[in-house]
Amino acid sequence: MLTVDFDRLGVGPGVRVIDVGCGGGRHSFEVYRRGADIVAFDQNSADLADVDVMFAAMAAAGEAPEYAKAETVRGDALDLPYGEDEFDVVIASEILEHVPQDGQAIAELVRVLKPGGALAVTVPRWLPERVCWALSDEYHAIEGGHVRIYRADELRDQITARGMRYLRQEFAHALHSPFWWLKCAVGVTNDTHPAVTAYHRMLVWDMMSAPRLTRTAERLLNPLIGKSVALYFSKPAVRSAAR
């Protein structure tokens, strides 16, 4: 399930990408599949070990071009172990809502991006997220959970204040919003509730088969209840004065 539009980012051969807070690697795998060089970056060693296994399996199966490079790196998003202007594309998907010092994390994302490069940031959208918080403390009040709810315009302004040029926003995963509202209502860890299991089967069917009915429904619902908002930026080739 991809939240980022890779065509919009121009991901392909010869492009170097870092996926900050890669988690299970869903976006990193797509970058690798498209033939770009990918750094899957996260602080969770267990997740990175699984991503490494998948990278190896993709290479063995010929699912990624031989020239593409893929690596995992463990570290802190507040202190990326790279110099300035190293990556053509920076992705930070569903990570900033977990980071208390989000301003510092944003500064690092911008710092390692090359002039002329592209930045994609996705976070939970305000309205669906607000419903989840209202229904369940367990949804967010856990170690490593969500520490804030973003309004898209506020996050956009935080990033443009770092010298980035705003391009556009998109919404995604509308069908997942009711699923999480349902889980929050019956208990986030209650995976055996009949309504939860039935809805989950529908989501799996949708992801595996991409039927026209659900794809059309999600496209129409995304502007209203899309679970995630994706913001796209570019780094000016000529730097403005430091802010």
Q: What is the pTM of this model?
A: 0.93
In a domain, 197, yes or no: no
Contact 151, 124 (CB under 8 A): no
| Number of independent structural domains in the chain | 1
Tell me, what CATH number does 111's domain have?
3.40.50.150
Which range marks the domain in which residue 25 is found?
6-174+225-234
In a domain, 195, yes or no: no
DSSP reduced 3-state for 203: helix
In a domain, 110, yes or no: yes
Q: How far apart are CA 68 and CA 174, in angstroms?
A: 33
In a domain, 166, yes or no: yes
pLDDT at res. 242: 44
What does DSSP say about strands 87-93 and 16-20: parallel, antiparallel, or unpaired?
parallel
Choice between 237 and 175, residue whose per-residue pLDDT is larger: 175
Q: What is the pLDDT of residues 20-69, one digit of tens each?
A: 999 999 999 999 999 999 999 999 999 999 999 999 999 999 999 999 99
In a domain, 59, yes or no: yes
